Amino acid sequence: MQTKPASQPLHSSPDPYLLPPGKSRGAVVALAGLGINLALGVLYTWSLFKAAIEKEFGWKGSQLNDPYALCCLVFAFTMVFAGRCQDKIGPRLTASVGGVLVGAGLLLISTTQNYVLWLLGFGVLVGMGIGFAYSSATPPALKWFPPSQTGRIAGLVVAGFGLAPVYLAPSSDYLLRTQGLSKSMQIFGLVFTLIVCGLAQWLVNPPAGHPAGGATARPKAGAVAPVDFSPGQLVRQPVFWLLWCLYFIGAGAGLMVISSVSGMAKKTMGGHAFVAVALMAVGNAAGRVVAGFCSDRIGRRRTLQLVLLLQAVLMLAAIPVTASAQGPRFVIVLVATLIGFNYGANLSLFPSFAKDLWGLKNFGINYGVLFTAWGVGGFFLSRLQAMLFEASKRAGGQGSYQSSFITAGILLLLGALLTPLIRPARTARD
């Protein structure tokens, strides 16, 4: 009797030797993206590195923030090119390139105290590497799941980036004390290259025929079918520039605090300031996951508006907290954790906006273009904070964060007022 050949399942993995069969395939991709982001989050421990740089190298003023600020800027603009690579050649190779670049940058700065080489190593190479790897972590995960889970999956994957300082803060503190700055950078360079390049091999897009966004998802009654926008169409939409400005404000205000949280905490916590960095990271990661779930339930716009309003209140509340050396330790830790929570929420909300409004076909480059707001916000607001802090010292004080917190608070309130204006974009044929 002639046997009928086994049919190829619709959702079979293009890499069966890597991904398990069944529904767990999407979970493996999401967890691989989470793991990659856990390594890339070395950016959020800069406040610890900054203290070691000042002590060992003798750098002063804005020099201490420049490699971090440049890294944020390069990371963001690399996302545009890296997003295109992810769309064209796939996430696996793109993320692997990122792992190599991050390792090369950290190994370079481990050999020198030269300011320009630190700008090149940490600012440019590490920034580019984070951009390539980060751009490849979220898109393949979103493609395995239905639209109803967009927020929570995006939140889960990017949570790794925010959660990284939970282990990096104590490990960095230990390495810096026992091995010194240069040796610590060398260790991180080698370890992160292996982790990112290894996990990159699990980043696989669904096979041809897999319905984008999930096979079981059905649109709600009256819902508009998603439209795939090209980058050229994207930048001609007012809603894009509105979202860009809101991302600039929300991310920039958070990065401003993250870059200096260790210094802020030293007044009340002394040598245990790294605890504030680690707990801020817990808030950062939790904000990404919680905001993702909430945005799936109550909507992206409403969630974003709540996040911006709460962040504005926290910025103003941080003024007396960071100015006092006598307050209880838990107060600065609580404020830092909540600021991290609200900052992290942005990192799950804006990729979800990008998928909802502009589709999955060009998601990598479209989100990369939007993500430039993150880098510009981080660069300018962290730089502004450093300048205002130094100005307060020249005025005869010990250095105050009051002006930068007030500026950020006003921007966040403005952003919250503008959030209801977000509306779905229209195509040229609409």
For residue range 380-415, list pLDDT tens digits in order. 887 788 788 777 777 666 667 788 888 888 999 999
pLDDT at 24: 75
User: At 342, which helix (H) or strand (E)?
Assistant: helix 329-358
Q: CA angle at residue 298 from 233 to 234, to 5 degrees?
A: 5
pLDDT 10s digits, 6-44: 433 333 344 443 555 555 788 889 899 999 998 888 877
Number of CB atoms found within 10 A of residue 171's CB:
17
For residue 220, which amino acid is it? K
Please, is 177 exposed, middle or buried when counting C-beta atoms within 10 Å of its C-beta (0-12, 13-18, 19+)? exposed
For residue 49, being part of any structural domain is answered with yes
CA 242 to chain centre: 20
User: Which domain does 266 fall in, by range?
Assistant: 24-207+227-421
pLDDT value for 9: 37
Torsion angle of C-alpha atoms 64, 69, 74, 80, degrees rounded to 10:
170
pLDDT in tens, 42-82: 877 787 788 888 888 888 777 888 888 889 889 988 988 89
Please indicate, yes or no, if residue 7 is contained in any of the structural domains. Answer: no
- Where does the pLDDT of residue 340 fall: very low under 50, low under 70, confident under 90, or very high at 90 and above? confident
- Please tell me the distance from the alpha carbon of residue 377 to that of residue 400, in angstroms, as a whole number: 21
Return d(Cα 368, Cα 362) in angstroms, integer: 10
Q: Give the Cα separation of 345 and 412 in Å (integer).
A: 14
Q: Are 347 and 258 in contact (CB under 8 A)?
A: no
**Residue at 3 is within a domain:** no
Task: Answer whether residue 409 is part of any domain.
Answer: yes
How far lies 153's CA from each of 15, 35, 114, 149, 401, in Å?
22, 14, 41, 6, 35
Whole-number Å distance between alpha carbons of 168 and 166: 6
Tally the domains of the chain: 1
Looking at the predicted structure, is the pLDDT value of residue 171 above 50?
yes
Nearest-angstrom CA–CA distance, 384 and 361 = 37
CA atoms lying within 13 Å on the CB side of residue 11: 18
Residue 232, pLDDT score: 87
pLDDT for residue 287 is more than 70: yes
Candidates 428, 290, 351; CA nearest to 86 is 351
Amino acid 215: pLDDT? 41
Could you tell me the CATH number of the domain that includes residue 247?
1.20.1250.20
> Using CA atoms, how far apart are residues 8 and 17, in angstroms rounded to an integer?
16
Asked whether residue 220 is assigned to any structural domain, the reply reads no
User: Count of residues for the chain?
Assistant: 430
* Residue 219, domain member (yes or no): no
Contact (Cβ atoms closer than 8 angstroms) between residue 95 and residue 131: no
Q: What is the pLDDT of residue 429?
A: 36
Average pLDDT of span 361-383: 86
Query: Does any domain span residue 253?
Result: yes
Residue 128 has pLDDT above 90, yes or no: yes
Whether 106 is in a domain gets the answer yes
Picking from 390, 281, 389, the residue whose alpha carbon sits closest to that of residue 333 is: 281
**What integer pLDDT is reported at residue 228 of this predicted model?**
82
Lowest mean pLDDT: which of 160-164, 235-239, 327-331? Answer: 327-331
pLDDT(216) > 60:
no
The whole-number average pLDDT for the span 327-332 is 65
Query: What does the block give as tokens for 55?
Result: 């002590």
Q: Count of H helices and E strands in the chain? A: 17, 0
For 39, phi then psi, to 5°, come to -80, -40
Sequence-distant (6+) residues with CB within 8 A of 314 are: 335, 338, 339, 342
Is the pLDDT reported for residue 240 higher than 80? yes
